[in-house]
A and B are shown apart, each in its own frame.
Chain A
Amino acid sequence: MKKLNCRGGDKIISIYWFFILFLVAGAIAYMAASFYGKPYDVRDAELRILSNKIADCVSSGGYINENILEDNNVNENFEKDFLKRCKLNFDVEDYQNWQDDQFFALVQFYEFDDTKGDLLGEFVDEISVGNVNLRSLCNMDGKNLPICLNRMFYTLDKENHEYIIKILSVVRKTEKNE
């Protein structure tokens, strides 16, 4: 009778032992899969570079580049050829129904007003390129959303009128970065 109890105890120990083994193995497999399976998210770096490139394109040395603003409006030709003039290319690789719609950029020109807290005076004009639908996703919380970067800086035109330029850059590419 005593021996039977002892053998029953052994079986319980081995079931318990296998349960612990499976638990540990499951945890290791999960950690390995999540470590090796998660892609590197480089969109932050992409956004900063994109934003800098656009800022360099519209303004240099503290002055708005020539031929951008004409009579307080953005030159139509500049807006039409924005990507070409700023040496940008929003084409992307063929991947999960991506259709060159993974980027968006918005450049807004405001008059400078130091009486306002945000320094933004009257709105002048704007240029937008890329997938405009991404803009509305910037303030949302959740998964599979694009990431956005807002930047603004002070600049002058050739007649020394003061402006604030706001740049919104958006990169989606969630499938390859999240």
Chain B
Amino acid sequence: MKRGNILIENIIFIVLNLIFLSILIAFLGIKSADVSPLEEKLAKEIALIIDGAKPGMKITYNLKDVLENADENYDGKIISIDKNIVTVRLHEKGGYSYSFFSDVDVSPLYFYNDGKTNFYEITVGEKK
């Protein structure tokens, strides 16, 4: 009877420990897989690049890391620029917007390079 009690207590103790550690690992996994910080970083980076650019400049951005982290089920625009607001969206229920203060015309376009890497090209022009 006593031996049985000790065994059950030990099993409960180990199971509780395992549950606890699993929750902790799951929390860290969810946090590190969250693409929101990447959306924020990309939106702010592009806004700053446009702010610092002079009319006539072409900026090419390698999207390899970004596309690796984007939601596979999401097929909308990853980067969009409307007036002076950059929006980056890597999953359906997300998105991060940041404004730039340079009053310039930005004409964005995608192009595919050697079948491996996607680039995003931004052309900064004078406001008409």
Chain A residues near B (Cβ < 8 Å): 14, 18, 21, 25, 28-29, 32-33, 36, 39-40, 42, 45-46, 49-50, 53, 83-84, 87-93, 95, 103, 176
Contact = CB atoms under 8 A, between A and B. Distances in A.
Nearest to B103: A89
B16 to A, nearest CB: 8
Interface of B: 13, 16-17, 20, 24, 27-28, 31-32, 34, 36-37, 40-41, 44, 47-48, 51-52, 83-85, 97-104, 127
Secondary structure call for the B interface = helix
Given A87-B127, A88-B103, A21 B17 contact: yes
Secondary structure call for the A interface = helix
Contacts of A83: 103
A48 B67 CA distance: 31
A25 B20 contact: yes
Nearest to B27: A29
A125 B20 CA distance: 67
A26 to B, nearest CB: 10
